[in-house]
């Protein structure tokens, strides 16, 4: 069984990605022989970047437990008033830089 220090070394690139993406690491410890990581991600993209790095290192996820919930803040919400001729792809391109991102879970459409 690996020690906390060995697992931290193995997952150092995950910790680096978390720091680069401004994920606030709240807990990092050894639990049941696994590295337990919990942090709060500012965005879904940040959480996904950290998860992608975890899966790159260990696709089986057999020595790690991780949780990176997204912080929801009213300050981070953006409002867009839909105009005639708008499409989800056009709005997505404006907000995310990619017309194909309209299915992102963080995009909410209100009609009122």
Judge if 8 and 42 occupy the same domain: yes
Domain count, the chain: 2
Supply the pLDDT for residue 74. Answer: 45
Q: C-alpha angle 38/39/45, rounded to 5°?
A: 120
Q: What is the pTM of this model?
A: 0.64
Judge if 36 and 62 occupy the same domain: yes
Would residue 52 count as lying in a domain? Answer: yes
> Residue 72 — very low, low, confident or very high, per pLDDT cuts 50/70/90?
low
Identify the domain containing residue 79 by its residue range.
Answer: 74-103
Sign for the pseudo-dihedral over CA of 59, 50, 5, 26: negative
Supply the pLDDT for residue 64. Answer: 95
Judge if 25 and 53 occupy the same domain: yes
């Amino acid at each position: 069984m690996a020690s906390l220090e060995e697992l931290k070394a193995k997952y150092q690139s995950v910790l680096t990605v978390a720091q680069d993406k401004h994920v606030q690491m709240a807990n990092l410890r050894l639990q049941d022989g696994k590295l337990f990581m919990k942090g709060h991600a500012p965005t879904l993209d940040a959480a996904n970047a950290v998860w992608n790095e975890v899966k790159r290192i260990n696709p089986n996820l057999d020595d790690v437990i991780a949780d990176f919930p997204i912080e929801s803040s009213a300050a981070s919400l953006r409002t867009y008033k839909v105009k005639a001729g708008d499409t989800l792809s056009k709005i997505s391109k404006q907000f995310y830089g990619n017309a194909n991102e309209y299915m992102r879970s963080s995009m909410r459409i209100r009609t009122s």
